[in-house]
Structures are given as C-alpha cells and as structure tokens.
Amino acid sequence: MPSVATQLPLFSEVDEPDSMSGFSVRESGRARRLSIKVFPRGRVEVVVPKRTRPAEVREFVEAHRDWILKARASFAAEHPPEPFELPELVSLDGIEREFAVRYLPEEGAKTVKFRNQGGAVVLSGQTANEKLCVQALKRWLTSLAKREYAPRLRSLSGLTGNSYKKMHVRGQRTCWGSHSSNGTISLNYCLMFLDPAHLRYVMIHELCHARHMNHSNRFWTLVEQFEPEYRRLDKDLNSSWKQIPTWVGIY
C-alpha cells in the first residue's frame, strides 16, 4: 500500500527535547508484524499489517522508545549536518514562485524579522546570526504557505466533496501532511519545494481522510477518483525529502 501516512504523536510533551514530535505509519499488505524504520534525517516510520489498531501502534512505539532514540542519536553522529550557506534565492516549485532573499543588518538588533517586498523577502536585524536568520525564514515559509495553500485546499475540497474545519501549516520533520479526528488538516510548508503535482496529491490525500480515517482499500479507491497517478506520486514522496534545501533542516 502507499506510504503517505497518518501522523501520530511519538512521545509525550515532557520527553527529551531531542525526541521526535511524531511518526508516520505505513500499512503494508505484505507485513506480518509491526516494524520500525529510522531514517538519517530523523524520520521514523512504522510499518504495520492492514487493520492494525492505532492503540497497538502506540504501544509498540513506546516499547521501542529507547531503541528509537539511540538510532536517531547514532544517525546524528554518523551524518552530521551538511555545511550550508544562507540562501540568496529560494525556489518554490510547488507554487511556481521564486524569491530573492535580502539581508539587512541593523546595529544593536537582537532578533531577525522578515517582510515581503515585491518578489523578495527581506530579513532585517541581527543577520550575522545564522540561527536567527533560518528561524525567520521558516516563519516566512509558514506565512507564505498559509496564503498559498488555503485557496488550493478550498478548491480541492469542493472538487472532492470532502470538507475540513481548519488548516494548519507546520514544518513537520516526519510527514508531509495529516488529518486529525477533529477535522484539522496540517500541511508541511516543505511541500512548496516539491512540484505542484505532489502538493496537490498530499492535499487530496488528506481531504479523503475526512471520509476514511485509515488507509483501507476504500480510502485508496476514493483517492484514485481524484488522482489516478497516486501510486507514483506517493512513492516519490519517500525520497522527496532530498529536495529540501539543507538550511531548512537546521535549527
């Protein structure tokens, strides 16, 4: 079965700061038991047989908590962050836009703020501080994605006939999107770095969860009605994290 997954909390909010905020669940017709995969950038995937109960998945992950954290720490040690430079240009293929990035240092500033200026984003303040600049760029990506995603999601909601209550935009490290039981769809701003077809597919995928909060055959049949190429697009997403610029994953 395809692998774009539901998003579940991994550990409680009182856990270590370096613990994961969530994990993805992939249903597999070939799986006979639950298994866990940890990827170099910290993504955690749980592969489960069909019709596995969410409570069973949570218990399984909690039982392997120490192993997951050790695996993530090992990957972090073996694969330190790649050197990066702050961007002068941000290309967002998913929304077919490109933005120049300008840095405006301000003496005595302790923060970095962003503002939109035509086809550019201007960062002003303590721009010598890379961490503050990256954090400001992420706030900008969140703000931009909210504006760009909202009309697209509304349009696809009308197309599919599947409604939602709220849309949130985040920079999740573990999934491209999720749909909660209260009708909230969360979308990753990193989707803007992919191509429009993948952005559209993830939106359709999450909207279809309004009718089926699982990855059953009925769910995928519904998805296929609106995106016949869903298998290819879904498979692509497994490796699409490689398209995200290094600076996005820092800090």
- Name the pairing type of β-strands 97-105 and 120-125: parallel
Last residue in a domain, options 27, 59, 78: 78
For tokens 């999107």, name the residue.
177
**Pair (125, 69) in one structural domain:** no
pLDDT at 94: 97
Q: Which of 78, 104, 120 is the last residue of a domain?
A: 78
120: in domain: yes
Q: Which helix (H) or strand (E) holds 48?
A: strand 44-49
10 in the same domain as 119: no
Could you list the residue range(s) of the whole structural domain that residue 17 is in?
A: 6-78
Shared-domain flag, residues 111 and 130: yes
**178 and 72 belong to one structural domain:** no
Q: What is the bridge-based pairing of β-strands 44-49 and 35-38?
A: antiparallel
Domain count for the chain: 2
- Find the mean pLDDT for residues 214-218: 90
For residue 240, tell me if it sits in a domain: yes
Contacts of 219 (CB under 8 A, 6+ apart): 208, 209, 211, 212
User: 93 with 193: CB under 8 angstroms?
Assistant: yes
> Are 184 and 64 found together in one domain?
no
Residue 83 within a domain: no
Q: What is the DSSP string of 52-103?
A: --HHHHHHHHHHTHHHHHHHHHHHHHHSPPPP----SEEEEGGGTEEEEEEE
pLDDT at 89: 97
Q: Which amino acid is at 72?
A: R
The tokens for 47 are 């592969």
pLDDT in tens, 127-156: 999 999 999 999 999 999 999 999 999 999
Same domain (yes/no): 46, 153: no
Domain end, chosen from 78, 108, 140, is at 78
Q: Are residues 206 and 97 in the same domain?
A: yes
- Which residues are paired to 131 by β-bridges? none
Sign of the dihedral through C-alpha 153, 136, 243, 64: negative
pLDDT reading at 72 higher than 70: yes
Give the number of residues written for the chain: 251
Co-location of 72 and 134 in the same domain: no
Confidence of residue 4 (pLDDT cuts 50, 70, 90): very low
- Residue 70's alpha-carbon distances to 20, 188, 236, in angstroms, are 12, 26, 28
